[in-house]
Amino acid sequence: MKDPSTRFLVIHFFLELKSKPGSTPKPPSILGDFRERSLFTQLLQGLVRYDRLLEEEIKRRLLRNKKLQKSVSAILKLGIFELLFMEKIPARASLHQAGWLSERFRVKAAKPMINGILRKLLEELDQGYDPKMTHSFEIYHSFPSWMLERWKTQYGEHQALELCQFSNQFQGVHLLLHDPEKQNLVLNEFSDLSFAYEPHAVIPRMFVLHDGKGFIKTKAFQKGWISVIDPSSVLFMLWAAPFFQGKVLDVCAAPGGKSLMIAALGKVDSLYLNDVSRHRIKRIQENIQRTGISPSAILQSDGEKLPFDKHHFDTVLIDAPCSSTGTIQKNPDIKWTASEKTLLKHLELQRQLLDEGARILKPGGTLIYSTCSLEEEENQNQVESFLARHTGFFMKKRPSDSAFFELDDWTNEDHSFFQILTGSKWGGFFGAAISCDHA
Ligand SMILES: C[S@@+](CC[C@H](N)C(=O)[O-])C[C@H]1O[C@@H](n2cnc3c(N)ncnc32)[C@H](O)[C@@H]1O
């Protein structure tokens, strides 16, 4: 790729995602400059996040139901997204770039039409056009109708609409400081590099970088003093901390975010890390090298058939593969890659992982189950169905925590599980601790 501009790459990757749906890629290494990398992420994620709205915005401005070439449609979407959502980019720059892109993508003949549509939108915006007032809620917020309906059934209309709105908000990059003694060094480095950041509103030792540019190259990250960790996972691990003890197995450990937090508790006797994916285990190894934690072993095996005798571990964590609907803020592609049919494709695997976890758990030990899903079938229902299958197992109650009282609010009183929904400061997360009677 010769002379790739940021927008050229955005369109290139967007077209790839359209032909082969998958997760939104990180900026390619060819983009070296921090600002360009950050712009790449904002634009590509924006296109994916608002795809349905952008499609409708094009449709209502096209004469007759004209079918556009894919690259023409993508260039138009990018222009419309910038005009609607990127206040800091001057409109004339967006228009100029759209014209330039039509040349680069060899659709020069469409240049006048692209220019015309963008100019028309600009005029309408100047006259007070508000897409929020024009489109239905699900089109403006760009959610598949079936997903919104699903959330309405589970959470009621008001909460479901809020979930869509919060799921569209980019939350910044969340960094957790592992060692409180390094706080001054880390924050001094952030100040020297003029990073815009703030402490997380609720989580101690967590910092939110506004656009995340450049932190990977900081000494703080390279030395393993900070890691990127989702705030919802941290909250869950704060909630689950009292349950970790003795010999611990993290069954679905990669890339190792929760393993790092288990190690940081400093109270377990040994820690075994497992994952089925060799490729993802490499990411555990990178994290371990960077942060210097030393697990007892790292295994690559199928969590449905673990190479351990029964009654082997005091604590077993199953951070299960799931629909990940609690992470749409960071992974907007889930809205389009999942379908009503495939959303719950991991149910049987989750069930098997739980059954296998129960087999290797010592009597009196704790089986901890978690997902980043908002779907009750993967959460409460999965745990309840486990309890119905296994006599002698029960939900463990967490001792209330006077130091961090919010955790009590997120514990469901009747069933004693942990649940937070996607909000302004974190994504959605579910977890439960299960124990069995002494044999
Ligand atoms: C939600 S992610 C785990 C995130 C990780 N616990 C963390 O905090 O960084 C789920 C993981 O389950 C792994 N996985 C999927 N199927 C599995 C199986 N049958 N056995 C073990 N691990 C599996 C995936 O490779 C993926 O790494």
Atom of ligand 1 nearest to the CA of 317: 6
Distance 273 CA to ligand 1 centre (A): 11
Same CATH topology for 6-140 and 231-436: the answer is: no
- As given in the structure block, the two tokens for residue 53 are 């709205």
Q: How far is the CA of 383 from the centre of ligand 1 (A)?
A: 18
Three-class secondary structure assignment of 295-337: CCEEEECCCCCCCCCCCCEEEEEEECCCCCHHHCCCCCCHHHH
172 pLDDT band, cuts 50/70/90, is: confident
Domain borders along the chain are 6-140, 231-436
Q: How many A from CA of 250 to the centre of ligand 1?
A: 9
Distance, in Å, from the CA atom of 260 to the CA atom of 352, rounded to the nearest integer, reads 25
Q: How confident is the model at residue 1 (pLDDT cuts 50, 70, 90)?
A: very low
pLDDT at 165: 96
Q: Of the candidates 138, 133, 134, 136, which has an alpha carbon nearest to the alpha carbon of residue 148?
A: 138
Give residue-wise pLDDT tens across range 226-257.
Answer: 888 889 999 999 999 999 999 999 999 999 99
287-306 mean pLDDT: 92
What pLDDT digit, counting tens, does each position of 103-120 carry?
A: 999 999 999 999 999 999
Give distance in angstroms: CA of 298 to centre of ligand 1. Answer: 13
pLDDT category at 2 given cuts 50, 70, 90 is very low
By the 8 A CB rule, do 105 and 71 touch? yes
Substitution site in 227, 234, 258, 275 for ligand 1 pocket (most atoms within 8 Å of beta carbon): 275
- Once rounded to an integer, what is the mean pLDDT over residues 37-64? 91
Return the half-sphere exposure (C-beta side, CA atoms, 13 A cut-off) of residue 317: 32
What is the CATH T-level fold of the domain 6-140, as seen in this structure? Answer: N-utilizing Substance Protein B Homolog; Chain A (1.10.940)
Ligand 1 atom closest to 324 (CA): 1
Atom of ligand 1 nearest to the CA of 250: 6
Share in percent of the chain as helix, strand, coil (round to 5): 50, 15, 40
pLDDT exceeds cutoff 70 at 174 = yes
Summarize the confidence of residues 185-207 as an average pLDDT: 89
End-to-end CA distance of the chain: give it in Å, rounded: 64
Ligand 1 centroid from CA 320, angstroms = 6
Measured CA to CA, the distance from residue 376 to residue 426 in angstroms comes to: 19
Give residues (CB < 6 A) around ligand 1: 233, 251-258, 275-277, 280, 302-304, 319, 321, 349
Residue 219 has pLDDT above 50, yes or no: yes
Q: Whose CA is nearest to atom 13 of ligand 1?
A: 252
Which helix (H) or strand (E) segment holds residue 432: the answer is strand 429-436
**For the chain, give me the number of helices (H) and strands (E)?**
19, 12
Average pLDDT value for residue range 163-177: 90
Superfamily (CATH) of domain 231-436: Vaccinia Virus protein VP39 (3.40.50.150)
Q: Which of 20, 14, 16 is nearest to 50 (CA)?
A: 14
Q: Can you tell me the distance from the alpha carbon of 154 to that of 389, in angstroms, rounded to the nearest whole number? A: 24
- Say if CB 325 and CB 373 are below 8 A apart: yes
| pLDDT for position 170 | 76
The helix (H) or strand (E) run that includes residue 174 is strand 173-177
Nearest atom, ligand 1, residue 352 CA? 19
316 Cα to the center of ligand 1, angstroms: 13
Atom of ligand 1 nearest to the CA of 258: 8
The position carrying tokens 């959605």 is: 428
- Distance (angstroms) between ligand 1 centre and the Cα of 251 equals 7
Contact (Cβ atoms closer than 8 angstroms) between residue 376 and residue 421: no
Stretch 149-169: mean pLDDT: 96
The per-residue pLDDT for 415 is: 64
The residue that leads in pLDDT, 173 or 134, is 134
Cα of 418 to ligand 1 centre, how many Å?
Answer: 20
Q: What pLDDT does 404 receive?
A: 65
Going by C-alpha positions, the residue among 53, 38, 339, 74 that lies closest to residue 170 is: 38
Which residues share a beta bridge with 207? 175, 199
Residue 56 pLDDT grade (very low, low, confident, very high; cuts 50, 70, 90): very high
Residue nearest atom 15 of ligand 1, based on CA coordinates: 321
Q: What's the pLDDT score for residue 439?
A: 53
- pTM score: 0.92
Q: What share of the chain in percent tops pLDDT 90?
A: 73
| Substitution candidate for ligand 1 out of 176, 230, 233, 252 with most atoms within 8 A of CB | 252
Ligand 1 atom showing the smallest separation from residue 372 Cα: 1
Distance from residue 214's CA to the centre of ligand 1 (Å): 28
pLDDT digits (tens, 9 = 90+) for 318-376: 999 999 999 999 899 999 999 999 999 999 999 999 999 999 999 999 999 999 999 99
Atom of ligand 1 nearest to the CA of 253: 6
Q: Report the distance separating Cα 8 and Cα 407, nearest Å.
A: 45
Residue nearest atom 12 of ligand 1, based on CA coordinates: 252
> pLDDT band at residue 17, thresholds of 50, 70 and 90?
very high
- 24-to-48, 144, 388 alpha-carbon distances in Å: 8, 18, 39
Instruction: Report pLDDT digits (tens) over 250-280.
Output: 999 999 999 999 998 999 999 999 999 999 9
Give, for ligand 1, the residue of 227, 237, 276 to mutate: max count of ligand atoms closer than 8 Å to Cβ: 276
Q: What's the pLDDT tens digit per position in 408-424? A: 677 766 668 999 999 98
**Long-range own/partner contacts, residues 274-280 (CB < 8 A, 24 or more apart):** 274/249, 274/250, 274/298, 274/299, 274/300, 274/301, 274/303, 274/306, 275/300, 276/252, 276/300, 276/301, 276/302, 276/303, 280/254, 280/255
Phi, psi of 32 (to 5 degrees): -90, -30
Pocket test for ligand 1, best of 277, 301, 322 (most atoms within 8 A of CB): 277
d(CA 9, CA 40): 8
Pairing mode of beta strands 429-436, 361-371:
antiparallel
What integer pLDDT is reported at residue 54 of this predicted model?
A: 97
pLDDT at 4: 63
CA 342 to chain centre: 18
What is the Å distance from ligand 1's center to 159 Cα? 29
In ligand 1, the atom with minimum distance to the C-alpha of 255 is 9
